[in-house]
Structure 1
Amino acid sequence: MTWTNRLRLLGGLVVVLVIVAACTLVFNQRQSAVASTSAAIAAQEYAVGTDYGGTVTEEYVQEGDSVEKGEKLLQVQSLQLAQDIRKGVVGADTQTSAYDIGEDGFITFKAEVSGTVAKIDVKTGGYVQAGSELGTIHKADSLFVTSNFTVTPRDYGRIQNGAEVELRLPDDRTITGTVKNVSVETNDAGRAKTTVDVESPELSASPSTGITSPGTPVDATLHLRDDGTLAGVTDAVRDFSRQIGL
């Protein structure tokens, strides 16, 4: 073999090694983002409840209505409350941020926060039990996204509070959010089933009706912490060392 052929062979080997190294690097490169398995818009919820059983006498609002803090929601007349008023257990003119008490056992429930009436569980003329919920209010400017991801334990460690999350709405608009809260449950396969709450100024300022109403499904893409180009290779070497007992 001539020196020219030897040099060509050597050059070919170098090229092959470079290609193999590049492919290995790409193959072992850590993923920089992960897509959600499910995600939906949510809101802070405030339940309207009663300590007294009674009959619903008035409905001042309907589901979907916007309400201001202190606005009337429902009125209930309670015989037990009327008895407590006569006994002096409760004052006839008691007022709190949640309700006003009048004579003859009337109690008027009010919105404790401004927002949207998400649900009304009672109807005029119906009877409500003591301790039951009458309805729910979604607080204004409180929309966020709760999203689920399935990641490896190692990638779970790369999820940071404040990390960027891309949110794609049903109308194909994309807005940006950040990680607010993270919780995890590891399944039998060793995968981390992770729930991430995402806050976004663009979302929280949107109306809690229509396409941005709570319960609307969205797509979320979570950006993981970047540990450098060789992180994937380092992980592979570390895992191989553990497998052979080093």
Structure 2
Amino acid sequence: MNLRNHIKLWGGIAAVLILMTALTLLFNQRQQQVPSDHAIVDAPVSNVASSYGGVVTQVFVAEGDEVTVGEPMFVVTSASLQQAFAQGAQPASNVAFDLDPARGLVTYKAVADGYVTNVKGVLGSFVNDGESLAAIVSDQERSVLASYTLSPLDYGRVELGARAEILMPNNDRLSGEVAGVQITSSNGETVSEVRVVSDELNAAELGTLGQRGTPVSVSMSLRDDGFLAGPTDAVLTFLTKIGLR
């Protein structure tokens, strides 16, 4: 066998070995990923509740309206507030409402930036103390709540700070990380509720796709306990550095 044939032979063997190694590392990396059974966008919700019972005399917001902190939402005329003031009480305004005790007026304000939902304060209706007028879903601090049915072995491989990829309804992919894990039971099965955070979820460009309750899908990375963990991480780090991942 001449030198040229030797080079071809060993070159072919090397190519096969490289391909098999790459496929093995890729398979190992895929084994670390688990898709969510169910996932939705979540966000903090602030309740706008009546502190003084009375009649709703002005409504400045509707379902879905965007509001900013301090923006007036409702005015309630409260006989009980007016009566308390007449008897010498000195109730004070705060971040949630402005008071005009002499006239018995309570102006309820937005306590967070976001959009209005669950509007229950209707013009002319009576609200009791503590009754909800509306809710505000925050535009910030969004996260994703994802449900997984994991084996005990896989549950032990879930780590805080682990990488996660959020697939949005428009097929955009957002990078995130695991921020919390909680165990619940559903239909006799143990379900892992995982909270994933991502700064990209707070981008204004998402529009309605970033609203609370939007269905998404999350692929979560599990800790790799196998003997290929080191080589797999090295290859993935290299691919990231050269822009192929």
> TM range, normalised to the smaller chain?
0.7 to 0.9
Deviation at 1:148, TM superposition (A): 0.6
Q: C-alpha deviations, 1:185-234, integer Å up to 9, x for none? A: 35686x54111111111112236742221111011111111112479xxx
109-118 or 142-151, larger mean C-alpha shift: 109-118
Q: Percent identity?
A: 34
**Residue 47 of structure 1 aligns to a residue in which SS?**
strand
- Give the secondary structure class of the aligned counterpart of 1:197: strand
Does 1:53 pair with 2:53?
yes
What is aligned with 2:88?
88
- Between stretches 44-53 and 198-207, larger displacement belongs to 198-207
| Alignment of structure 1 residues 184-223 onto 2, 5 Å | 184-185=183-184, 192-206=190-204, 209-223=207-221
Distance 1:187 1:219 in 2: 19
CA distance in 2, matches of 1:63, 1:187: 32
Give the length in aligned residue pairs.
202
Query: Secondary structure of the equivalent of 1:151?
Result: coil
CA contact (8 A) 2:74 2:121 kept: no
The TM-score normalised by the length of structure 2 is 0.75
Match for 1:111: what amino acid?
A
Q: CA deviation at 1:184?
A: 0.8
**In 2, Cα distance between the equivalents of 1:188 and 1:46?**
31
Q: Secondary structure at the match of 2:148?
A: strand
Contact kept in structure 1, 2:202 and 2:210, CA below 8 Å: no
Q: What secondary structure, in the 3-state scheme, does the structure 2 residue paired with 1:134 have? A: strand
Alignment correspondent of 1:171 = 170
Which of the pair has more CA radius of gyration?
A: 1
**1:141-170 Cα shifts (integer Å, max 9, x gaps):** 222111111101221121111111111111
1:31 aligns with 2:35: no
CA shift in 2, pair 1:202/1:187, >3 Å: closer
Q: SS of 2:160's equivalent?
A: coil
2:103 aligned partner: 104
Q: CA deviation at 1:109?
A: 0.5
Q: TM-score, normalised by structure 1?
A: 0.75
Segments of structure 1 that go 5 or more residues without pairing to the other structure are 1-24, 232-246
Letter in 2 for 1:211: L
CA distance in 1, matches of 2:184, 2:57: 46
